[in-house]
Amino acid sequence: MTIKKEPSTPKELSAIIEVGEEEDPEIHDFAVKNNVTMLAFIGSYVPRRYSPTTRGYSVINIIDEFSVEQALTEVCRKTKNIRNKKLFLLVNSPGGSLASAFKTANAVRDTFSDITVFVPHIAASGGTLIALTGNKIVMGMMSQLSPLDVQIQNESGSPISVNSYFRAKSRLDDYFSKRSEKESPYTMQHMAESLDPVLFEEFTGIQEEGKIYVDTILEKAGYKKNEREKIIESLIFTLPTHGFVIQYPLALQIGLKVAQDNNYRDAWGIMRKWLSKYLVKESDKHFIRYSLPLKSKKQNSHSKKLKKQNSHSKKLKK
């Protein structure tokens, strides 16, 4: 399959991004028939192998910022009145940088006024933030979102939820509220002494940053203030772990504007097909593909031919 590379894409940028217009005729025909712009943001499950022992995975990062910027630039250049066009957005991602996810979500949200997001499988972490751009999020049997509690790296480089630090402090506060320091074992005393107040101030700021990002995207997606507050409380603070699975019933309970796949049967089938085309392609970056509701030259030629034939038939009848 050949993917069109636009001449407006700088050569240096083309070397590091995965952007192109989708040429699958079934996907394109669906976009034309339904007069909808379609955009796919797909993280592959197969990492790129750099060497026998090292691999790179598709995670949301600065490369995706450039990729989405390029895709939206191309879409806007080719489509008139783009703001008034509907967007069907396919999201499949394990997540990554929250800042990059926010910039990506914000760019998409500011480009389109009516967005329907499809999550056939996983939109986790930063992928969930991108999914929140939708006026509606369509989910199926295996669809999954995840909490948006902010992650930091510990000394070994492993990600840890900022919530874990606050919960640990809360448990220690509760423990020492009921007994004196002398009554406490050394391990508990040592844990309390190890808490760094400067770090907690830093963590508070990081958590506030995440709240602002989520609130901004939800507000632009049409959620009211009380709805946003409930969703933020659930996604950032309440759920037990960062990897906790959020499926349709819980998403609905949280207050997200979700719909079941059986209400979008044709679109859901197209999105699943689109996902399958890139899901197991080896890559260390997200595939960004788009399809526009514009007839091809071949389709336009066929339409003109039909109009001409119809016009000729009417003249003969007269």
Give the residue-averaged pLDDT of 214-237: 97
Q: Any bridge partners for residue 90, and if so which? A: 40, 118
Separation between Cα atoms, residue 239 and residue 297, nearest integer Å: 51
Q: What is the pLDDT of residue 304?
A: 43
pLDDT in tens, 97-132: 999 999 999 999 999 999 999 999 999 999 999 999
Mean pLDDT of the chain: 85
- Residues 273, 10: contact at Cβ < 8 Å? no
Please, which pLDDT band fits residue 296 given cuts at 50, 70 and 90?
A: low
- Fill in the amino acid letter for 162: V
- Residues 272, 36: contact at Cβ < 8 Å? no
Give the residue-averaged pLDDT of 242-257: 97
- Which of 14-23, 97-106, 115-124, 219-228 has the lowest average pLDDT? 14-23
- Residues 167, 149: contact at Cβ < 8 Å? no
Q: Please state the separation of Cα 43 from the chain's center in Å.
A: 10
With a pLDDT cut of 90, the percent of the chain lying above it is 63
Give the residue-averaged pLDDT of 60-71: 94
Separation between Cα atoms, residue 204 and residue 201, nearest integer Å: 5
Q: Please state the separation of Cα 52 from the chain's center in Å.
A: 31
Q: Any bridge partners for residue 40, and if so which? A: 90, 289
Please, which pLDDT band fits residue 305 given cuts at 50, 70 and 90?
A: very low
C-alpha distances in Å from residue 86, one per residue of 79, 116, 160: 12, 8, 38
Q: Is the pTM of this model over 0.85?
A: no
Q: With 60 as the cut, is the pLDDT of residue 307 above it?
A: no
The residues, any chain, with a CB within 8 Å of residue 162's CB and separated by 6 or more, are 149, 150, 151, 152, 203, 206, 207
Query: Which residue would you say has higher pLDDT here, 303 or 113?
Result: 113
The residues, any chain, with a CB within 8 Å of residue 144's CB and separated by 6 or more, are 119, 121, 122, 123, 124, 245, 246, 247
Residue 157 dihedral angles phi and psi, to the nearest 5°: 95, 0
- Fill in the amino acid letter for 34: N
Please, which pLDDT band fits residue 79 given cuts at 50, 70 and 90?
A: confident
Beta strand 36-42 pairing with 287-291 = antiparallel
Domains (ranges, CATH) in the chain?
A: 11-146+245-307 (3.90.226), 149-223 (no CATH)
